[in-house]
Structure 1
Amino acid sequence: MDFYQVNLGVLVATNAYLLWSQYRTTKKDEALTLLDPALEERGEKIEGGSSGSARRFQLNFFIPYALAVAADWLQGPHIYAIYKYEKEIPEKMVAALYAAGFVSGGISASFAGGYADRFGRKRACLLYCFLYIVTCLTMLSNDMRVLFFGRLAGGVSTTLLFSVFEAWMISDYHEQCIQTADLNLSSVFSTMTTLSCIVAIVSGIVGDALVTASGTRTWPFLAAVVCCIASGFIISTRWKENYGVRSSESTSAEDVKAGVRAIFRDRKILSLGITSCVFEGTMYLFIFFWSAALKSARAATGWTDELPFGLIFSCYMCTMMAGSALFTRLKVAQGGISGSADMLMKVTLLVSCCLGLAVILKDERLVFWVFCLLEGCIGAYFPAMACLKSELVDDGIRGRVYSILRFPLNVFVVIAHSLDEEGDGHRNHVFAVCGGLLLVAFLFTRRYFA
């Protein structure tokens, strides 16, 4: 077995242990709660119906959410390849197509959440399914106008995926009083991250198998269409509609203003916005640069063998799962806002250090381990950030605030990509700048949460 196979085996075993330990702890806590005479005397004994409602809530949300995420992961790795190699589109036009998606995502972030709050978050999730189907079907065309339209639709759908699904879930969680069934939101957020990692690994394998079987990269996009149809069907038949603040007199511009005022009025939400912009923007740039960084490290040793990118990607996803599982295992949620904020500050500082080490280190194995640590931090970041936003953002304006927070993220990524250059020097410069910005974000968070 080579280096990456050994690492993947260790990471899979570690994740299996963490998930099994988490399951065992949950079952043990449930048993102790049911048998606690003190709770029974106070009439607080949890009935089977409560735990059943928690399971129904999780299945009702996680199945369509997993299908929606699968649609994203199935086609994501093949977008560049189908543009560049199958359609033979010039590099500059490929960059323009990518930029169109981010610009569309940034613009839609200013109004998508507001519309979801006013007209229904369930409808917004169904709109995601529809737009993603459109996005995938446009990939069957060779017309540049159709492809650009697909990228614009894809930008809007990405904004919806990472804002309205979570907003609907939090509102439904509180409406059903799931907290009385001993299911914390922190556990739900952690499961969302873990599930996303598992779906990413499976989708990568299925996508590659479809390409091999068909001889074309269009099949993963058709599989994504099937996932969106299935997700939309479950959402339309099983989910109840929920809304934010609804006012017939308000306009989209007023919704945006209300969301921006809510962000700037609360310094804690503002610091979360700064951190999410820098952290998630850095994550997108890392996705773009990590393969080149490992290639350069391997080339420096004189090796000419091709890197096993599939294995490396699986290692990253396993490490991200481990970070999410550790978040739950450490029971950060018991510390409330301060516990989640403490975790957020730690992972932000750690990622800043990882980027600095990635610039300094030249050994391929050390760079790989640093990148694994970075991915582990990302796995802990998402549930920590989600917990903080769920506590600080009012449910009535949750959708619009969540989507507005994605606007600076899209601007950050578009600007960064517009400055792209060839060579290791530029990549190291990007890592150094992002590391510095993460340090600034850490100081902001520390000032308002410490």
Structure 2
Amino acid sequence: MTSMISTFIIDVDTMDMIVKDPETLFKYLAGTLVATGITLKVWPYLKSYSTSIDSAKTNKNKNKKVNQKQTKPREIQSLQRRFLPVFFLFRMSFWMAGPYFFQVYSSKIFLLSGGSSTSNITPEATAKLFVGRISLIGYLAIVLLSSFTGKFTEKYGHKAATLCAGILYGIGSISVFSNTPFYLYAGRAIGSVASSWLCSAPESWLIGEFLTIQGILNKKEKEKSSSSKRKMDDDDEDDEDDDKNDNKKVCWLSETFALAYGGDPIIAIIAGQTASVAANHAGNPTGPFSLSPWFIVTALVFVTLYWAENKSNRGGRSSEEEKNNHANDNEDKKSSISSNSNDDDDDTAVTTNDDEDDDEQPFTEQSRCTGLQMIFSDPKILLVGVVQSLFEGSMYIFVVVWPPAISNSVKRYFGPTAITPFGTVFSCFMACAFIGSIICGKLSKARSVDVKSTMTGILFISTIAFSVAVYAIQTQNLLTIIVAFFIFEACVGMYFPSIGILRSKLIPDSHRSTIMPLFTIPLNVLVVGVIYFHPTLGDIGALIIACVACAIAAVCMIPLRSILREEDRQRRLDAKNKWAKLKIASVFLSKLHRTRRKSDLLKNTSIRSVGRRASLTSVENSRQSLCTRASIC
């Protein structure tokens, strides 16, 4: 009894020490969440380690052969070494600036009143008004200037686009040190456009460089196959080997993306802690923004030294490679056609390419109409678009709401002088998203749980989490707010893999590039509207809108789930009917085979009897001939 009382006292003492200040509280929560995520991630590997040792010893020779077949090419290793450090440096810069976005701009509230403190508006409302305007400027800049960034990337290449976007992002980060409203608005617009540009340009460079390497590897394989002088009968086998090699190369690209986005939550957790240390060291929220540009500069140095330029023309190949391909094609034509006809063919080739370029512009205008027609003609695409727009809209609303909501609750709980460690809170959110992605992976491996059910559960749990957060903000209960926000971030971690699977099943690849941008229109309308009216709505009103959006998304997911389940059931019935038909056909064919076999046996027996008779007659004739000869002698 005394030991139980002592342990209880110790637990109470430790809890008092943890809840002493907000920094200690959120550090303890971040450590617990990170340890939980690492345990969930590593435990299956540790569990299967003992069994894998025995199997590795018994199948040592087989594993050597498999590893020899699946060795990563040097070109792919070089590509990953060039891309992954740049990607992680960019993400480090993003995640460092994100947690202190609200605090750094809310510290500029004196700019709205011209430096005077006499105003009827409270400082909190003024801060929300200014941050809302800044956020609105950023979203509008992305919507208006995204087409120009795309044209720049197509014209000058992905490396140039990455360098330009990195420089602009650095300018946007440095602009927070200004006290002039114009420079703050302009810097936010530039930083928002650059951040969205940096999310697409490096990945496009990776895909283009991978396609170039894939072409080089294909040429090497063709040279090896031509030097070996195989027979013509083995051409089919060669094609199958090429398909297998292509599949392996595609796996290297997916492995690169998996390494990048698998390490992204870890980078986000480290960035949150680094941002918190930088803010405490600087004594103001501009500390992370002074450290963030250095990661951008380091990434740009890597890009300048180790990246080669490529463009998105013809599947991401570089212009130099296209010129070489055109030259090779012309040489092949010259070897088979005379010079006069070759000139005519070159002219016609140029004109056909010009016609193709002319046809691409009306195709992009028509693709929007076809995308809208496909969305409204197929209820599955419409429902998944509504789900995506509403949930991601609520997610961006949460990004705007969580800093002031947690800051006010921290001041109410710890005192008006308490400082919120936004970087550590952000690390907790990223750890929750990491745990959610692990749980989603485990549910996807389970046969009893499908993606449709997982997505429905995510939306309903998010709705409950938002409703609990609304109640907690009204009652100023800090622990309840933390739990509700952590649950929603775990749902965010589960959402992105699930919606990716649903989009891959429902949206056709031929129209995905035209349908996906259309989903962002209602999303931007929702987010911009809430940000614009955030000073009037407040944190509670914005969260209520996010809760309603998640609820509508959950309601839309129910008919989508039923439609997909009905299609799966119909597909299973069709498979059973096909199997029954195949079974009947196989029985019929087996009976037919038996009857043919019997007829063949009868034919064979008749042929054998005729042969025997013929042989007997021939023997008798030969015997009679011998007897006649003997009598004559």
* TM-score normalised by the chain length of structure 2: 0.57
The amino acid of 2:294's aligned partner reads: V
- 1:280 maps to 2:385: no
How many Å apart are 1:84 and its aligned residue? 3.3
Counterpart in the other structure of 2:291: 223
Distance change in 2, residues 1:119/1:97 (3 Å)? same
- DSSP-derived class of the 2:110 partner: coil
Distance change in 2, residues 1:264/1:120 (3 Å)? farther
Alpha-carbon displacement from aligned partner over 1:98-151 (angstroms, at most 9, x marks no partner): 211011122334565576567644544444323212322333433433332222
- DSSP-derived class of the 2:429 partner: helix
Counterpart in the other structure of 1:414: 528
- 1:265 maps to 2:374: yes
- DSSP-derived class of the 1:50 partner: coil
- 1:443 & 1:215 partners in 2: Cα distance? 50
- 2:70 & 2:57 partners in 1: Cα distance? 9
The CA RMSD measured in Å over matched residues stands at: 4.6
How many Å apart are 1:372 and its aligned residue? 1.3
- 1:319 maps to 2:387: no
Distance change in 2, residues 1:33/1:58 (3 Å)? farther
- 1:244 & 1:400 partners in 2: Cα distance? 18
Contact 1:323 1:380 (C-alpha < 8 Å) held by counterparts:
yes
- 1:13 maps to 2:35: yes
- After TM superposition, the structure 1 = structure 2 runs for residues 64-75 of structure 1, keeping only pairs within 5 Å, are 64-75=86-97
- 1:145 maps to 2:182: yes
- 1:2 maps to 2:116: no
Alpha-carbon displacement from aligned partner over 1:75-117 (angstroms, at most 9, x marks no partner): 2333443333257332344432221101112233456557656
- 2:48 & 2:314 partners in 1: Cα distance? 36
**Aligned residue among 145, 151, 167 for 1:130:** 167
Which 5+ residue runs of structure 2 have no aligned equivalent? 1-16, 20-24, 113-125, 215-244, 316-355, 566-633
- DSSP-derived class of the 1:88 partner: helix
- 2:388 & 2:283 partners in 1: Cα distance? 39
Distance change in 2, residues 1:213/1:339 (3 Å)? same
Contact 1:298 1:364 (C-alpha < 8 Å) held by counterparts:
yes
Pair member with larger Rg? 2
Alpha-carbon displacement from aligned partner over 1:252-287 (angstroms, at most 9, x marks no partner): 786465366347526555544433322222112112
Bigger relative contact order, structure 1 or 2, given CA contacts below 8 A and separation 6+? 1
Counterpart in the other structure of 1:61: 83
- 1:200 maps to 2:315: no
Distance change in 2, residues 1:396/1:439 (3 Å)? closer
Distance change in 2, residues 1:143/1:304 (3 Å)? closer
How many Å apart are 1:20 and its aligned residue? 2.4
How many Å apart are 1:67 and its aligned residue? 1.3
- After TM superposition, the structure 1 = structure 2 runs for residues 246-261 of structure 1, keeping only pairs within 5 Å, are 248-249=357-358, 255=364, 258=367, 261=370
- DSSP-derived class of the 1:139 partner: helix
Larger CA deviation: 44-53 vs 434-443: 44-53
- 1:30 & 1:58 partners in 2: Cα distance? 29
* TM-score normalised by the chain length of structure 1: 0.77
How many Å apart are 1:173 and its aligned residue? 6.4
Larger helix proportion, structure 1 or 2?
2
Larger CA deviation: 207-216 vs 369-378: 207-216
Counterpart in the other structure of 2:72: 50
The amino acid of 2:525's aligned partner reads: V
Number of equivalent positions? 446
Larger CA deviation: 361-370 vs 28-37: 28-37
Query: Identity of counterpart residues, as a percentage?
Result: 21
